[in-house]
Amino acid sequence: MKKVNRRTWLSGAATAAVAIAQTATGKAVQVGVPIEQFWADDPTKQPGGAPPGIPPGQVGTRSPFEKLVKSPSDISSRTPLQDLHGILTPSDLHFERHHNGVPAIDPAKHELLIHGMVDKPLVFTLADLKRFPSVSRIAFLECSGNFRTGKETLSPQDICGLTSQSEWTGVSLATLFREVGIKPGARWFLAEGGDAALMTRSIPVQKGWDDAIVAYAQNGEALRPEQGYPVRLFLPGWEGNTSVKWLRRLELGDAPWQTREETSKYTEAVGEGKIRQFSFDIDARSIITFPAYPAPVQRGWIEIRGLAWSGRGTVERVEVSTDAGKSWQVATLQQPVLDKAHTRFRLLWHWNGDETEIMSRAIDSTGYVQPTYRQLLDARGGNSGYHMNPITAWQIKRDGRVLHRPETR
């Protein structure tokens, strides 16, 4: 921060209409210039207008000074967690994960078929779905493969940017279940997407009755194409791939379908050479988003800020360590703390300039405590690419640099 005193400020204002010029003989003199010349960069002296190329009132956009971007790859893109505030993710910054591109679907032609072990197979258009009573809830979505480590120059976006949060609106799947009539023997349903990968997942019927949503809106507007337009399944708290996008078919049955995504993919080691086929719930996790790479810090008071979440309930508590895990302090949780939702936490910390490590761990309403990387590997008996939720540590260097501490066994 730059200090300003009254004398300096008044002096600057008094000389604002005077400039230095050279005469024909090369002599420097003070001359008066139109005061408007000094207002060119003062927004209070210039009429406002729309951003270049966008008519007023047509499309909103961010300030050109804000450079928020997702980090893309061929199959996914990550939310810039370190640049966001609050608990909602702007729709255009919501992470993406697709298996064969984003389909272009005409909503007027799109239909959802529900069949199999039902009393009355039905086909619903988007207009049909919108005629049912709607529901909305704020909840996070996270890819089951949301973890990176291995080098110091990783940001929160790099490490776990495959999680985002929105307000989802649609019709409760339980409403549609009642409409078609689920037969007593139906225990599972297959959700199928309308993308080129024909994404399919087997889901226990009980989740459909509990809190599943057939969503057509996100953050107050229609779904974005990359988020499943015109309609997607949304399963609060469950791994992201089960919330099948571009939803076109639900088939009820008495057993899982054993599709590619639940045999060769999205399985995980659980130790002793065993593999677990279905792991739906997202475990509790947290990450400090400030201080974090690449933003440096200065000694003095620092507000440590971050996100915590759990797919099994609410975040009960977040603990923060500023001495490499030797001791822990309870952080303040920002209200509201919602079920299966991102929760903001904060802790005021005075940094004296010594090198140290800071980290956070979440405890959810079931009593589950976010583990260390080593604890996860020991429990599973080896490396696993899915459902990794370890404590993340940031190294604070004496010069103020903040670096990720790579995880090693």
CATH code of the domain in which 260 resides? 3.90.420.10
Q: Within a domain: residue 61?
A: no
Q: Within a domain: residue 258?
A: yes
Overall number of domains in the chain? 2
pLDDT one-digit tens code per residue, 144-169: 999 999 999 999 999 999 999 999 99
Distance spanning both ends of the chain, measured CA to CA: 42
Q: Within a domain: residue 49?
A: no
Residues 359-368, mean pLDDT to the nearest whole number: 98
- Rg, Å, the chain Cα set: 27
User: Do 106 and 134 fall into the same domain?
Assistant: yes
User: Do 75 and 153 fall into the same domain?
Assistant: yes
Cβ–Cβ under 8 Å, residues 395 and 357:
yes
User: Do 336 and 251 fall into the same domain?
Assistant: no
Buried b vs exposed e over 284-299: b needs ≥16 C-beta within 10 Å?
Answer: bbbbbbbbbbeeebee
Residues 75-88, mean pLDDT to the nearest whole number: 95
pLDDT one-digit tens code per residue, 262-319: 887 788 778 777 888 888 999 999 999 999 999 999 999 999 999 999 999 999 999 9
Q: Within a domain: residue 41?
A: no
Task: Specify the range with the lowest mean pLDDT, choosing from 8-17, 132-141, 249-258, 375-384.
Answer: 8-17
Higher pLDDT, 346 or 98: 346
Q: Within a domain: residue 181?
A: yes
The model carries a pTM of: 0.88
At position 69, the amino acid (one-letter code) is V
Q: Which two tokens stand for residue 140?
A: 């996070």
**Measuring CA to CA, how many Å separate 234 from each of 154, 166, 250, 408?**
30, 11, 13, 35
Domain edge (last residue) among 276, 310, 328: 276
Provide the CATH number for the domain around residue 342. 2.60.40.650
Whole-angstrom distance, CA of residue 123 vs CA of residue 180: 10
Domain edge (last residue) among 235, 250, 276: 276
Closest CA to 158 of 63, 48, 82: 82
User: Do 207 and 90 fall into the same domain?
Assistant: yes
Q: Which domain holds residue 306?
A: 285-405
Closest CA to 336 of 43, 145, 78, 139: 139
User: Do 309 and 230 fall into the same domain?
Assistant: no
Check whether 330 has a pLDDT greater than 90.
Answer: yes
| φ, ψ for residue 14, nearest 5 deg | -70, -30
**Measuring CA to CA, how many Å separate 42 from each of 37, 45, 48, 117?**
10, 6, 11, 68
Buried b vs exposed e over 330-350: b needs ≥16 C-beta within 10 Å?
Answer: ebebeeebbbbbbbbbbbeee
User: Do 233 and 324 fall into the same domain?
Assistant: no
Q: Please state, rounded to an integer, the average pLDDT across all residues of the chain.
A: 90
User: Do 316 and 231 fall into the same domain?
Assistant: no
User: Do 210 and 335 fall into the same domain?
Assistant: no
User: Do 333 and 230 fall into the same domain?
Assistant: no
Domain edge (last residue) among 276, 298, 322: 276
Beta bridge partners of 124: 112
User: Do 245 and 391 fall into the same domain?
Assistant: no
User: Do 158 and 269 fall into the same domain?
Assistant: yes
Q: Within a domain: residue 352?
A: yes
User: Do 269 and 342 fall into the same domain?
Assistant: no
Cβ–Cβ under 8 Å, residues 161 and 95:
yes
Q: How many CB atoms lie within 10 A of CB 147?
A: 21
Whole-angstrom distance, CA of residue 363 vs CA of residue 309: 9
Residues 380-401, mean pLDDT to the nearest whole number: 90
Residues 358-370, mean pLDDT to the nearest whole number: 98
Beta strand 76-78 with 96-97 is antiparallel
> What is the predicted pLDDT for the residue at 23?
63
> What is the predicted pLDDT for the residue at 13?
46
